[in-house]
Amino acid sequence: MPITDLLERNALTKGGDIAVVELSPRSGSDRIVTWKDYETSESYPDLSRRREMTWKFMDEQANRVANFLLERGIGRGSKVAVLMKNALEWFPLYFGVMRSGALVVPINFRTAKEETLKCLELTQADAMVFGPGYEEQIAALRDEARGVKVFVSTGPQCPPFAESYFGSVSRAGARNPGIRLSDDDDAAIYFTSGTTGEPKAILHAHSAILSVCATEQAHHGQTGDDVFLCLAPLFHTGAMMHWLGSLVSCGKAVLLRDGRPKPILDAISEEGATIAFMLVPWVQDILQEVESGKLSFGDFKLDQWRLMHIGAQPVPVELITRWRRYFPRQQYDTNYGLSESMGPGCVHLGVENTRKVGAIGKPGLGWQAEIVSEDGRPAPNGTIGELIVKGPGVMKRYHNDEESTASALRGGWLFTGDMGYVDGDGFIFLVDRKKDVIISGGENIFPIQIEDHLRSFGKIKDVAVIGGYDKRLVEVPIAIVSLKDGERATEDELVSHCETLPRYKRPRRFIFAEVPRNPTGKIEKPRLRAMYGNAGAEGVR
């Protein structure tokens, strides 16, 4: 069954229920705008603080998107790129593109013109939908993107070279076009986050996306009474795939367009959110605001908040320990996944295993996972090796990249590039990305271990450890440290704090600077290596 059938089911059984609410706290308006505002005019209504969409209207809009595309020759096998920030329009676009038989191609909204053009060329995109704020970028690249025949703008000012989403699409038919889709049909192309090199295009079938529905609901037990708070960018598999738990259960979701601590807590309180998918930086920021006295959890209605889960990057044990002091009865889960595994859930901790915080957990529903040595054989418990996974969400291949596909997919297993080990209880712990391992004087150093140690120094908000050049040892660890607001620390203090580490693991230099993270919360280590990779020889102790 294609994933689009679930939306049609919801429209038939729960059509009048609210499917998604969009909150924009920065807009300053309290007027509630519904999708009916769009039906009577081609003009783009004022961005309000709150918009909402029913299941029935989402389904009808998806049909309009599909029919609009088919009328312009975009259909089975075509690729439709989507470049826009989180908004209600994401959902009917996502399902509408698939309903036409085309593949949806979400693009990172932080990409520059050159990177966007590469994504269009790599996927051979036939059409492109872009949101407000990207008009100039698309105007600058459209002559070079020769394969793109159709441009659609969801912004208030539609450029002359594009068609208006709220004009042209709204005039298309609202009936399902009836394109027959199978589980094996191509559905989407996602991109890797590019934290270890150039992003790769990942091809997924409908069956992979559909499998996430069962996995997500089994892991987090969503019902129609749950309200899911989503802050993470929808172009990434993490956010959209977690939302599938709401799709399968007909539960409401809240799309928050503001990642500051107070708007997050306001949204949970005012919308009655019961589940929130968070990233490490947001949890860090909330705790800092509370612990500094700027915010108080007591000022918000949070009793209904039953589950907080984190994914997309290693989760510091110290962070969750602090969090659970405030929410001792709240469920917590760690979700591990890759875009190549159709997002989160191929490995997860499980809400019943909080005693094992620090592990990514055990194989998820329908998945297998192993730690293997360099020769591909299972590694003994406690021995570091590469994590490989097998399950229903594994990608078909890297699009137009046979070499990378052959390296990543072997015998039905996906080789993740993540290094870890299995403990005596069968829980998997990650130690780092294979490409991030620092080899210093022949010794393997895993930056996560040093980062976790530095986080126990109470003044640090965030930290990243990279390899820096050294004439004798080739590489040595360098720590980029971001302090909590109002805190001060010296390099000597951090050197002293690291004296309990083995000498070869101690950072040779400490750089006080912001730790850059991408929209999914992962540390941008290639960027840090470009900035500081030649700094290792300085400050050697």
Report strand pairing: 397-398 vs 385-390: unpaired
Q: What is the pLDDT of residue 63?
A: 98
Q: What is the pLDDT of residue 245?
A: 94
% of residues, the chain, pLDDT over 70: 91
CB atoms near residue 354 (< 10 Å): 15
Work out the average pLDDT over 485-495: 90
- 34 bridge partner residues: 52
Task: Give domain limits for the chain.
Answer: 55-181, 214-433, 439-532
Work out the average pLDDT over 502-518: 88
Whether 31 has a pLDDT exceeding 60, the answer reads no
| Secondary-structure class of domain 55-181 per CATH | alpha beta
The encoded tokens of residue 231 equal 């802050």
Residue-wise pLDDT for 301-349, tens only, equals: 999 999 999 976 667 788 899 999 999 999 999 999 989 999 888 999 9
Work out the average pLDDT over 146-158: 92
pLDDT band at 204; cut points 50, 70, 90: very high
d(Cα 394, Cα 340) in Å, to the nearest integer?
6
Contact 244, 209 (CB under 8 A): yes
The encoded tokens of residue 81 equal 């790129």
Work out the end-to-end distance of the chain between its first and last CA atoms, rounded to an integer number of angstroms.
61
Pick the CATH number of 214-433 from 3.40.50.12780, 3.40.50.300, 3.60.15.10, 1.10.10.10: 3.40.50.12780
Work out the average pLDDT over 41-62: 76
Q: What is the pLDDT of residue 32?
A: 41
CB atoms near residue 12 (< 10 Å): 11
Q: What is the pLDDT of residue 474?
A: 65
Work out the average pLDDT over 396-409: 94
Whether 42 has a pLDDT exceeding 60, the answer reads no
Q: What is the pLDDT of residue 33?
A: 39
Residues contacting 307, CB < 8 A, separation 6+: 220, 274, 275, 276, 330, 331, 332, 333, 351
Computed over every residue of the chain, the mean pLDDT equals 88
Contact 369, 349 (CB under 8 A): no
CB atoms near residue 127 (< 10 Å): 24
Work out the average pLDDT over 410-418: 92
Work out the average pLDDT over 116-136: 94
Contact 409, 376 (CB under 8 A): no
d(Cα 315, Cα 280) in Å, to the nearest integer?
7
Q: What is the pLDDT of residue 74?
A: 97
Whether 437 has a pLDDT exceeding 90, the answer reads no
Whether 28 has a pLDDT exceeding 50, the answer reads no
Kind and range of the H or E element at 183?
A: none
Residue 213 main-chain phi, psi, to 5 deg: -55, -50
Nearest to 23 by CA among 265, 241, 242, 248: 265
Contact 516, 471 (CB under 8 A): no
User: Would you call 103 helix, strand, or coil by DSSP?
Assistant: strand
Report strand pairing: 443-445 vs 438-440: antiparallel
Whether 358 has a pLDDT exceeding 80, the answer reads yes
The encoded tokens of residue 96 equal 């509408």
Work out the average pLDDT over 382-393: 94
| Secondary-structure class of domain 439-532 per CATH | alpha beta
Work out the average pLDDT over 468-474: 73
pLDDT band at 34; cut points 50, 70, 90: very low
Residues contacting 497, CB < 8 A, separation 6+: 453, 454, 456, 457
Whether 35 has a pLDDT exceeding 50, the answer reads no
Residue-wise pLDDT for 76-123, tens only, equals: 999 999 999 999 999 999 999 999 999 999 998 888 888 899 999 999
For residues 199, 205, 207, 213, the Cα torsion angle rounded to the nearest 10 degrees is 40
Q: Do domains 55-181 and 439-532 have the same CATH topology?
A: no
Q: What is the pLDDT of residue 395?
A: 96
Q: What is the pLDDT of residue 447?
A: 85
